[in-house]
Amino acid sequence: MTNTLLILPGDGIGPEVMAEVTRIIDWFGARRGLRFDVTEDLVGGAAYDVHGVPLADATMAKAQEVDAVLLGAVGGPKYDALDFSVKPERGLLRLRKEMDLFANLRPAQCFDALADFSSLKREVVAGLDIMIVRELTSGVYFGEPRGIFEENGERVGINTQRYTESEIDRVARAAFELARKRGNKVCSMEKANVMESGILWREVVQKVHDESYADVELSHMYADAGGMQLCRWPKQFDVIVTDNLFGDLLSDVAAMLTGSLGMLPSASLGAPMANGRPKALYEPVHGSAPDIAGQGKANPCACVLSFAMALRYSFDQGDEATRLERAVEKVLADGVRTADLMQAEGAKPVTTTGMGDAILAALDAS
Ligand code: NAI
Ligand code: MG
């Protein structure tokens, strides 16, 4: 099977961090025989400058065809005054919407060398590797009716939590598939004690499990208790699957277990394509960081780890993904640090390119 990849560096530090990933992709081709058919294109402000829109139709069409899209970041002060319809983030929103990316994957991974960055104790987070799967296209952020209405002489604000069986079914499947490529354990979180949508959620997740994924260990937890457990002993989890609202909250909590924004990758997955691979968009959690753009200060690790996720979840190269993650871990253990990572004693400050060099050297030695 060929491996097709669309790279969209975007704006600000996007192209800077993506340049390091491109070198790593080349390394896997030259040294591991893992060839990628790569197309590079524009998104965000960079696309607006050339096409007058933040995502050209041809780019959208390409994104629908490839095995994986890897995006840097979009946006920046230069584009802040633009009309909402052509703002850089609209390019990203269009990708997510038209590819129907319903499962948002937010790993919380804590490399030993960075455990002291966490807001929790070292022993609670060191070596942590969990994955939160958040339903992204439905739930209370989209449900109707919604609005602010007049009722009995005062205003009432209304949102509706709404999930169909098929919406729950497909995100549950995505979570079980991921678990099989990881620790084979899923914990589903909702509030079945007080919400009808929670009762349905629990029932459908259990049914999908029993019918198709009985080999994966499944547990259920109320989402509020889940929040407590994430802070108390996060290593008890492997994959957590939850709805849009709870996932929004829990993934932000989980992010803080691990420290720097410059280290956090993400992915958004959609339905399986004809070749069995899911539609997929990989991107760092951080934005275009205009305050440090063009200065060689950006930490490329979040984008590099996003590519590692692509290796594992789109290209079935779990061992090579681990190789890349181990290389990043080794570099951090050696004290190599971009400016965003606190300068501890004995730390070796490097630029964006310096971090890329160090990761490539660690890969060479792997
Ligand atoms: P941001 O994530 O770009 O930056 C927040 C802070 O973290 C800044 O101080 C930045 O220097 C630092 N930072 C972020 N990534 C870093 C990295 N890889 N290495 C070192 N330091 C890093 O968020 P902010 O400042 O709120 O937004 C800036 C622009 O990015 C805005 O135009 C915003 O709309 C856009 N944005 C785009 C996103 C995307 O493309 N998915 C997500 C978030 C924001
Ligand atoms: Mg949030």
Q: Can you list the domains of the chain with their CATH numbers?
A: 1-107+260-366 (3.40.718.10), 119-258 (3.40.718.10)
For residue 131, pLDDT over 80 is answered with yes
Instruction: Output the residue whose Cα is nearest ligand 1's atom 11.
Output: 289
**What is the mean predicted confidence (pLDDT) over 84-105?**
94
pLDDT greater than 70 at residue 208: yes
CA distance to 140, 166, 194, 317, per residue, from 282 (Å): 25, 24, 35, 15
Q: Which atom of ligand 1 approaches the CA of 79 most closely? A: 32
Q: Which atom of ligand 1 is nearest to the CA of 284?
A: 41
Helix axes 165-180, 196-212, angle to 10 degrees: 50
Side-chain-side CA neighbours of 316 within 13 Å: the count stands at 8
Does 252 qualify as catalytic in the annotation?
yes
For residue 177, the model assigns a pLDDT of 94
**How confident is the model at residue 343, as a pLDDT?**
62
Q: How confident is the model at residue 294 (pLDDT cuts 50, 70, 90)?
A: very high
Q: What mean pLDDT do residues 14-34 have?
A: 97
Q: What is the residue whose two structure tokens read 């060191």?
A: 126
Query: How far apart are the CA of 263 and the centre of ligand 1, in A?
Result: 12
Question: Ligand 1: which residue has its CA nearest to atom 27?
Answer: 287
Q: What angle do CA 52, 58, 63 make, to 5 degrees?
A: 115
pLDDT at residue 117 above 80?
A: no
Ligand 1 site, CB within 6 A? 13, 17, 73-76, 89, 92, 261-262, 283, 286-292, 298-299, 302, 340
- Asked whether residue 1 carries a pLDDT value surpassing 80, the answer given is no
Mean per-residue pLDDT of the chain: 95
The annotation places the binding site at 76-89, 96, 106, 134, 224, 248, 252, 287-299
Q: Where are the alpha helices (DSSP H) in the chain?
A: 14-32, 45-51, 57-65, 88-98, 122-125, 165-180, 196-212, 223-232, 244-258, 301-313, 318-333, 352-364
Q: How confident is the model over 160-177, as a mean pLDDT?
A: 97
Say which of 41, 238, 243, 248 is annotated catalytic.
248
pLDDT in tens, 142-155: 899 999 999 999 99
Phi first, then psi, for residue 243 (nearest 5°) are -80, -175
> Which of these, 290, 288, 265, 268, lies nearest to 279 by C-alpha position?
268
Residue ranges at the known binding site for substrate: 96, 106, 134, 224
Q: What is the pLDDT of residues 38-92, one digit of tens each?
A: 999 999 999 999 999 999 999 999 999 999 999 999 999 999 999 989 999 999 9
Ligand 2 centroid distance, CA of 4 (Å): 30
- 64 CA distance to ligand 1 centroid (A)? 26
Residue 344's pLDDT band (cuts 50, 70, 90): low
Which atom of ligand 1 has the smallest separation from the CA of 290? 28
Closest to 39 (Cα-Cα) out of 15, 11, 12, 68:
68
Q: Tens of pLDDT along 221-278?
A: 999 999 999 999 999 999 999 999 999 999 988 888 876 789 999 999 999 999 999 9
Average pLDDT over residues 282-306: 96
Q: Known catalytic residue: 141? A: yes
pLDDT band at 112 (very low <50, low <70, confident <90, very high): confident
Pick the residue with more confidence: 259 or 14?
14
Q: ipTM above 0.95?
A: yes
- Reply yes or no on whether the pLDDT at 120 is more than 70: yes
Nearest ligand to the C-alpha atom of residue 136: 2
Catalytic residue, chosen from 41, 67, 163, 191, is 191
CA of 335 to the centre of ligand 2 (A): 31
Predicted pLDDT at 116: 81
Active-site pick, 252, 319, 348, 364: 252
pLDDT at 68: 98
Chain segment 181-195, per-residue pLDDT in tens:
999 999 999 999 999
Burial 210-239, CB ≥16 within 10 A → b, else e: eeebeebebebbbbeebbebbeeebeebbb
Looking at the CA of residue 10, tell me the nearest atom of ligand 1.
40
Would you say 48 and 79 are in contact if contact means Cβ atoms under 8 Å apart? yes
The binding site for NAD(+) consists of 76-89, 287-299
**pTM for the predicted model, two decimal places:** 0.93
Whether pLDDT at 108 is above 80: yes
To test ligand 1's pocket by mutation, which of 20, 260, 286 has the most ligand atoms within 8 angstroms of CB? 286
